[in-house]
Amino acid sequence: MGKFENDEVLVVSCEANATRFGILQDQNTTGDFRHYRAYSSANFPNFATVLETYLEEVSLQTAPKTLICSHQGPLLKGKIHSTHLGWETDLEQLKEKFGFHEIFARNDVVASAHSLLNLDASSIVAEEGVTQSINLSVPGRYLVIIAGSGIGLCQLEVTQSGALLFHPAEGGHAAYSPQTALEIELFEQLREDYNYISNEMLMSCAGLETIYKTLKKLRDEPVTAKTYKEIIEASKGKNDAASIEAVNMLMAMLGSFAGDAVLFTGAKKGVYFVGDLPVMIGDRWRLDISRAGLEAKGRMSSFVAGVPIFTLKNAKAPMTGAVQAYLQHEMEIAA
């Protein structure tokens, strides 16, 4: 374990839907954590409380001295502002309260992009006939799109010199552009209530609820699935056509969003969808639907054609990525 050989290292992914904890088992881990637990973030008033709950529950013999954290929201002046939760976490106060010697924090989008450095092949879903391949010795750009409580975007660039550069962006807050007749109809319905419609308002957990409820409204049908979890579950059956259509629209929209991102960045080595939605939809995710959205780019369709797309069904990806980010950071300091 090198630097961590004699220490317990606590790894956490703090997100709006869930806060996940685990003790690092191997610094080369692809998701194998001891004492892994996941808690509903909404049940806690702040991060310190859920952390305290975890530590009491697992009763570690040795208190962890290092905390590696993937988090939603910005880190400003030593404080993590968890936008969707309303939590503010002061890292110095966290050190003092729990006895950490070191806290390393990275935004969840950047952490998820780092997970590409050490992927568990069994958690990757690829299109038929496509072999998962990340060759970090060859210059190029990869794109990671995290779809969950929000939508995030990060580009992983391998430079000519072999350096790895990570470029996070806020594409989720860019304006949504409908393309199909049904998307335009849905957009016009939403315009009655909103002056600005961003990608995140539709391509997220809450966005899936918005799509589904708007479809039901357009068809004057009762809403039978209340939450995104219920919508995804209903889409696996045959009794609620709107749930199936809503999930399909979400996959198509995310494909279109990915195609736009490829046009903006030139990241043609591959697109990876990660986060709660790919994990929950799982094998139900139809990459052919996302492919159609990605390639529907008019005269520039040839530019994005053939860009491989994948989903990552590993809920621990931000945790494993945060560990990789920490190790890369340590190597840069030592160089």
Q: Which pair of tokens denotes residue 207?
A: 């966005």
pLDDT computed for residue 291 by the predictor? 95
pLDDT computed for residue 61 by the predictor? 86
Return the beta strands (E) in 63-201 as ranges: 66-71, 75-76, 79-82, 87-90, 102-107, 124-126, 140-147, 151-158, 164-169
Highest-confidence segment of 24-33, 74-83, 130-139, 198-207: 198-207
Q: What is the pLDDT of residues 144-169, one digit of tens each?
A: 999 999 999 999 999 999 899 999 99
Domain span including residue 88: 2-107+317-334
Q: Give residue 133's pLDDT band: very low, low, confident or very high (50, 70, 90).
A: low
Same domain, residue pair 78 and 97: yes
Domain assignment of residue 147, yes or no: yes
Q: Which pair of tokens denotes residue 330?
A: 């340590």
Same domain, residue pair 53 and 131: no
Same domain, residue pair 136 and 95: no
Same domain, residue pair 97 and 241: no
Same domain, residue pair 73 and 95: yes
pLDDT at 48 > cutoff 90: yes
Domain CATH number, residue 323: 3.30.420.40
Domain assignment of residue 116, yes or no: no
Q: Give residue 321's pLDDT band: very low, low, confident or very high (50, 70, 90).
A: very high
pTM recorded for the entire structure: 0.91
Same domain, residue pair 303 and 330: no
Domain CATH number, residue 252: 3.40.367.20
Helix (H) or strand (E) holding 33: strand 33-40
Domain assignment of residue 114, yes or no: no
Same domain, residue pair 238 and 149: yes
Do residues 280 and 165 lie in contact, with contact meaning Cβ atoms separated by under 8 Å?
Answer: no
Same domain, residue pair 289 and 322: no
Strands 124-126 and 309-312: antiparallel
Look at residue 240 and give its three-state secondary structure: coil
pLDDT computed for residue 1 by the predictor? 45
Q: What is the pLDDT of residues 107-125, one digit of tens each?
A: 999 999 999 888 777 788 8
Do residues 142 and 134 lie in contact, with contact meaning Cβ atoms separated by under 8 Å?
Answer: yes
pLDDT at 27 > cutoff 70: no
pLDDT at 265 > cutoff 80: yes
Q: What is the pLDDT of residues 163-216, one digit of tens each?
A: 999 999 999 999 999 999 999 999 999 999 999 999 999 999 999 999 999 999
- Mean pLDDT across the stretch 92-105? 95
pLDDT computed for residue 30 by the predictor? 59
pLDDT computed for residue 179 by the predictor? 93
Average pLDDT in the chain? 91
pLDDT computed for residue 132 by the predictor? 64
pLDDT computed for residue 6 by the predictor? 58
Same domain, residue pair 89 and 129: no
What Cα–Cα distance (Å) separates residue 197 from each residue in 185, 189, 194, 200, 314? Answer: 14, 11, 7, 8, 29
Q: How far apart are CA 282 and CA 122, in angstroms?
A: 13
Same domain, residue pair 100 and 135: no
Q: How many domains does the structure of the chain reveal?
A: 2
pLDDT higher at 284 or 52: 52
